[in-house]
Structure 1
């Protein structure tokens, strides 16, 4: 270093340390160490913690063997053979002595108490699907964190795109889009949408997300795929296979969760038979999210210890029904019915005949989580008439049980009735 230069006169030189198997010493076991240790553990470092005490979380890391804990104060020589040291104590004298040893041994040293006295700074770091984002702004850690958060969030929700430039393996991502509100798709699902070449979407998928896609993305409405001699599902399977074999990144966007009455496994099996890799991204199921959005907990302490999700697209007296409605009528918990608006009269009569009380509360939530959401309350005895008089239309989630009467929304619904 020039005799006239001072470290604070120059910006930090950014670098990524590969610490796997290399000795890292952490001095101090408090909150700072608790925040920094997970990243060092993830990097595969051989970590030695020197501290007479530690937070419960840090103790748990030592108990699980992720770090080695020396339960004592720092002494000269503790940095021997170290590649990197983190000083995280409130003892200024001890911090100075550790820094001095690190300087003599030419070991990069981070100081949590005095950044200007450190030889290394820890950037604000975030990760998203194989990318590491590290931001340094000198002595303004809050700004670093804010910039880091903005970049990582953008990568996750697709507002910042960083498409893979290397050759991609053709494949399909089976993405659960959630109950309807575009903000309720998972961050992974949103990122895969941003990277897609082709999106095959269900009508119950979050439609607003499609408007955000770049113009080069081909969007296909699954309901409008011509299927001629094929069944609709078979035609969708064939479309997925065709586009994947053409080398496209394909997203199959479905409402809710792909495996909750979504026929997702049929698509996975069809792709597997053709040797096409498929990634399944779970989605938030409308069976729990829509009741929650309407103020109904599907379980509640002292009210319901279980909930059952049932497809209502087949009437109870239909020979194709796989549901034991008599058994469901005997349950005391919550019953959530999907795709059952036009069959709810027959379902309610069957449940009452099986022993469920006619005055059992029922809520119908139409277009749940969207701007058009509305809730209609009734009982098992009155729900069939309520559907007609209130003109309830699919998609709607039906909740049956005492949890319907829990919470402030139930009170307001009662007053509206």
Structure 2
């Protein structure tokens, strides 16, 4: 199954060998939901890269790197479907209907999503809509920003010296409210909490975690524009996070001891940022 890899190793221009690799066929009338990874375009999977070269239509999110879109064939139609908090955005139902419509026209439809489609990426909703419409689909996982984005900031989500568990959550429910979440249970669930889309409500979240018993001096790191040349990391404490304002987004928030490893593991500096592919 992986014999084609041997033809890549040791060759100049080895990316060209992917053109003859035995990837699954991207059939007309089907939709592939592909995770583009966080920030750096080089973090997309080989199967995702294959899909980019085959797609007739690419429906992409706001967080997809422009360098990935540049890899599409000249004839490929690119459709923006980005959703950003607090800004006018396409409705989820309309995006799903677009995917169905293009597929029914016999197009190879690539739904290109930042991070991973199933990690707070609404991929499950879109795949369900495709299933109900009878449209064939494939899920291509991606590197979640909650893992890859933190790695680019020198933050391991687990470390044997600090934690054997981690909890991932979104900073609000589908109504935009943080209250329905069980914050006392979340506070006890793991030493490390990684939060997506939490900056808007960070003050409220920090207060709820403190009320649930977390240490006011506990470390908090906020990674903005992860794995991109614009990446910024703000380190603070849970108590001080209550008053934070004007934090750049998109951002990943991590609460817990693992950000203490940044002085040793913070590798994404200097020349590492110069390449467009991170």
TM-score (norm 1): 0.57
Say whether the 8 Å CA contact 1:178–1:286 is kept in structure 2. Answer: yes
1:321 Cα deviation after fit: 5.0
Say whether the 8 Å CA contact 1:170–1:244 is kept in structure 2. Answer: yes
Residue correspondence of structure 1 range 12-411 to structure 2 within 5 A: 126-127=3-4, 146-147=10-11, 150-151=13-14, 153-156=15-18, 160=19, 168-223=27-82, 232-314=91-173, 318=177, 322-385=180-243, 387-388=244-245, 391-408=246-263
Structure 1 residues 242-276: Cα deviation after superposition (integer angstroms, max 9, x where no partner): 11111111100001110111111111111111211
Say whether the 8 Å CA contact 1:315–1:346 is kept in structure 2. Answer: no
RMSD across aligned C-alpha pairs, in angstroms?
A: 3.0
Q: Aligned to 1:355, what secondary structure does the other structure show?
A: coil
1:331 Cα deviation after fit: 3.7
Say whether the 8 Å CA contact 1:358–1:380 is kept in structure 2. Answer: yes
Distance in 1 between residues matched to 2:190 and 2:10, nearest whole Å: 48
Say whether the 8 Å CA contact 2:192–2:254 is kept in structure 1. Answer: yes
Cα distance change, pair 270–317 in 1 and its aligned pair in 2 (3 A): closer
Say whether the 8 Å CA contact 2:153–2:266 is kept in structure 1. Answer: no
Higher relative contact order (CA 8 A, sep 6+): 2
Distance in 1 between residues matched to 2:148 and 2:184, nearest whole Å: 27
Q: Aligned to 1:235, what secondary structure does the other structure show?
A: helix
Structure 1 residues 343-380: Cα deviation after superposition (integer angstroms, max 9, x where no partner): 00000000000000000000000000000001000000
Distance in 1 between residues matched to 2:174 and 2:58, nearest whole Å: 33
1:316 Cα deviation after fit: 12
Which 5+ residue runs of structure 1 have no aligned equivalent? Answer: 1-41, 43-124, 135-143, 225-230, 413-417
Distance in 2 between residues matched to 1:347 and 1:255, nearest whole Å: 24
Q: Which structure's CA Rg is the greater one?
A: 1
Distance in 1 between residues matched to 2:203 and 2:123, nearest whole Å: 29
Distance in 2 between residues matched to 1:329 and 1:262, nearest whole Å: 24
Distance in 2 between residues matched to 1:184 and 1:167, nearest whole Å: 21
Q: Aligned to 1:349, what secondary structure does the other structure show?
A: helix
1:393 Cα deviation after fit: 1.9
Cα distance change, pair 368–409 in 1 and its aligned pair in 2 (3 A): farther
Cα distance change, pair 338–234 in 1 and its aligned pair in 2 (3 A): same
Cα distance change, pair 371–145 in 1 and its aligned pair in 2 (3 A): closer
Distance in 1 between residues matched to 2:135 and 2:174, nearest whole Å: 37
Q: Aligned to 1:362, what secondary structure does the other structure show?
A: strand
Q: Aligned to 1:337, what secondary structure does the other structure show?
A: strand
Structure 1 residues 36-77: Cα deviation after superposition (integer angstroms, max 9, x where no partner): xxxxxx7xxxxxxxxxxxxxxxxxxxxxxxxxxxxxxxxxxx
Range that drifts further, 323-332 or 247-256: 323-332
Cα distance change, pair 155–251 in 1 and its aligned pair in 2 (3 A): farther
TM-score (norm 2): 0.84
Say whether the 8 Å CA contact 1:316–1:346 is kept in structure 2. Answer: no
